[in-house]
């Protein structure tokens, strides 16, 4: 990136140097994030930022600096893909704050009082538009689609800004305002998790951020446990797990929670459960239903093998399969001996309850 320097006055250069040094002094993390090449470009950007600010002041036109602040922020987000948007916002906003402080502490030979006021105001606006830009990203159609968009967007925005407490508050308030646990799970948390994967795939967020979103969402789920486990019991059992070397277990965990919430006893066995452990658990626990979840298509063959073994050894146990791996298949589940398939855990619980009612009617009649 070669940057034009409109203002070659030595006094601007001195300010640029001060701003640059002060930013490293105040933020020790910068040293790790910036190699020598980045440091050089950052210094050039400081000079460039000052040039734009002075151009805006010259014309008394704040839009010039506002537009520039948005442009430079997006440029840096694209150039520094190892850093998240909220961190780059911190870089820029620290820079604007420090520049404002240094300009205001300079003897007023550089800018008149009126010009200094304008510069200070434009820098403040730059901070505002940069803070807003963190969450101004294009989201997938599926994220927009369906009910409760506002809530999932607020939850996602909080996470993109690393605001864990705000994220929890968004969910707690939604709950207090009457949003059902099922809707929170399926319309908010599931869709945000899937979108976080899309944003990682599009290189808009880092893997660190995706992991952070996962861990906050796991802690949000734990917050529902008192309620989930306090429901009247139905004396029905479900065993659920993710199979193969599948580490994606949040979907099947939500499924177990939803069953538990509906009064079932859930035996949730987590991720990557091997076949022997599943067979042993079915024998010991004697579930009415088992649910196997697959996200990565590579583990579909293992799932098929497990389905066959369970059917062979325990023909009365009903088997459901689900998870995103089945989405892009030619209805693979129809070729296996399974009793149910769905992408929705809630549809599964409703179906399972109907089966129980049917069975009871048969018994009674």
**Number of residues forming the site for ligand B12 (CB under 6 A):** 36
Nearest alpha-carbon partner for 19 in 56, 53, 60: 53
Q: Measured from the CB of residue 252, what is the shortest distance to ligand B12 in angstroms?
A: 5
254-283 positions binding ligand B12, by CB under 6 A: 254-255
Q: Measured from the CB of residue 248, what is the shortest distance to ligand B12 in angstroms?
A: 4
98-157 positions binding ligand B12, by CB under 6 A: none
Which member of 51, 100, 130, 196 binds ligand B12 (CB under 6 A)?
Answer: 196
Q: Measured from the CB of residue 353, what is the shortest distance to ligand B12 in angstroms?
A: 13
**Distant-in-sequence, close-in-space partners of 347: CB < 8 Å, separation ≥ 6:** none
Residue 268 CA to residue 256 CA, distance in Å, equals 6
Q: Measured from the CB of residue 198, what is the shortest distance to ligand B12 in angstroms?
A: 5
Q: Measured from the CB of residue 250, what is the shortest distance to ligand B12 in angstroms?
A: 3
Stretches 13-21, 48-56, 168-176, 247-255: which one binds ligand B12 (CB under 6 A)?
247-255
Residue 159 CA to residue 294 CA, distance in Å, equals 26
Which member of 91, 251, 259, 307 binds ligand B12 (CB under 6 A)?
Answer: 251
- Return the structure tokens found at 336: 């296996």
Stretches 72-80, 209-217, 219-227, 310-318: which one binds ligand B12 (CB under 6 A)?
209-217
Enter the DSSP assignment of 243: B
Stretches 6-14, 23-31, 45-53, 194-202: which one binds ligand B12 (CB under 6 A)?
194-202
56-75 positions binding ligand B12, by CB under 6 A: none
341, 333 Cβ separation under 8 angstroms? yes
- What are the strands of the beta sheet with 340-342, ordered from one edge? 265-268, 237-242, 289-293, 318-322, 340-342
Residue 51 CA to residue 44 CA, distance in Å, equals 11
Q: Measured from the CB of residue 199, what is the shortest distance to ligand B12 in angstroms?
A: 8
Nearest to ligand B12 of 90, 260 (CB atom):
260
Nearest to ligand B12 of 236, 248 (CB atom):
248
Residue 186, interface with ligand B12 (CB under 6 A)? Answer: yes
Identify each DSSP E strand in 169-307 by its residue range.
Answer: 237-242, 265-268, 289-293
Q: Measured from the CB of residue 33, what is the shortest distance to ligand B12 in angstroms?
A: 23
264, 234 Cβ separation under 8 angstroms? yes
> Any bridge partners for residue 267, and if so which?
239
Which member of 291, 300, 303, 307 binds ligand B12 (CB under 6 A)?
Answer: 291
Residue 197, interface with ligand B12 (CB under 6 A)? Answer: yes
Nearest to ligand B12 of 40, 201 (CB atom):
201
258, 345 Cβ separation under 8 angstroms? yes
Task: Measure Cα distances from 127 to 3, 18, 38, 279 in Å.
Answer: 22, 19, 22, 58
298-337 positions binding ligand B12, by CB under 6 A: 320-324
Nearest to ligand B12 of 83, 240 (CB atom):
240
**Distant-in-sequence, close-in-space partners of 290: CB < 8 Å, separation ≥ 6:** 238, 239, 240, 278, 282, 310, 317, 318, 319, 320
In angstroms, what is the C-alpha Rg of the chain? 28
- Return the structure tokens found at 94: 């620290």
3-state secondary structure of 206: coil
Residues that bind ligand B12 (CB under 6 A): 186, 190, 193-194, 196-198, 201, 210-211, 214, 245-252, 254-255, 291, 293, 295-297, 320-324, 342-345, 348
């Amino acid at each position: 990136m070669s940057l034009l320097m409109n203002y070659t006055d030595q006094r601007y250069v001195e300010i640029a140097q001060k701003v640059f040094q002060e930013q490293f002094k105040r933020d020790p993390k910068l040293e790790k994030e910036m190699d020598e090449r980045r440091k050089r470009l950052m210094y050039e950007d400081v000079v460039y930022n000052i040039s734009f600010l002075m151009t805006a002041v010259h014309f008394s036109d704040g839009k010039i600096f506002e537009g520039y602040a948005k442009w430079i922020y997006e440029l840096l987000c694209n150039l520094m893909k190892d850093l998240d948007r909220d961190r780059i916002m911190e870089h820029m906003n620290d820079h604007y704050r420090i520049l404002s402080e240094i300009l205001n502490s300079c003897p007023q030979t550089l800018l008149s009082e009126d010009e200094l006021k304008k510069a200070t105001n434009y820098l403040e606006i730059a901070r505002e538009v940069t803070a807003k830009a963190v969450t101004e990203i294009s989201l997938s159609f599926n994220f927009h689609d369906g009910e409760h968009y506002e809530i999932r967007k607020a939850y996602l925005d909080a996470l993109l800004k690393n605001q864990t407490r705000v994220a929890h508050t968004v969910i707690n308030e939604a709950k207090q305002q009457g949003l059902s646990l099922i809707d929170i799970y399926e319309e908010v948390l599931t869709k945000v998790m899937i979108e976080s994967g899309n944003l990682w795939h599009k290189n808009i967020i880092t893997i660190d951020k995706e992991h952070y979103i996962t861990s906050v969402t796991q802690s949000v789920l734990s917050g529902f446990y008192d309620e989930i486990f306090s429901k009247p019991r139905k004396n029905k059992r479900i065993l659920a797990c993710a199979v193969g070397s599948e580490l994606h277990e949040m979907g099947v965990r939500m499924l177990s929670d939803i069953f538990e919430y509906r009064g079932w006893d859930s035996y949730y066995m987590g991720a990557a459960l091997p076949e022997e452990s599943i067979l042993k658990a079915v024998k010991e626990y004697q579930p009415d239903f088992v649910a196997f979840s697959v996200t990565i298509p590579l583990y579909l063959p293992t799932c098929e093998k497990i389905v066959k073994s369970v059917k062979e050894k325990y023909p009365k146990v009903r088997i459901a399969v689900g998870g995103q791996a089945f989405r892009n298949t030619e209805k693979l589940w129809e070729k296996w001996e399974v009793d149910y398939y769905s992408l929705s855990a809630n549809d599964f619980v409703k179906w399972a309850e109907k089966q129980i009612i049917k069975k009871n009617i048969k018994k009674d009649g």
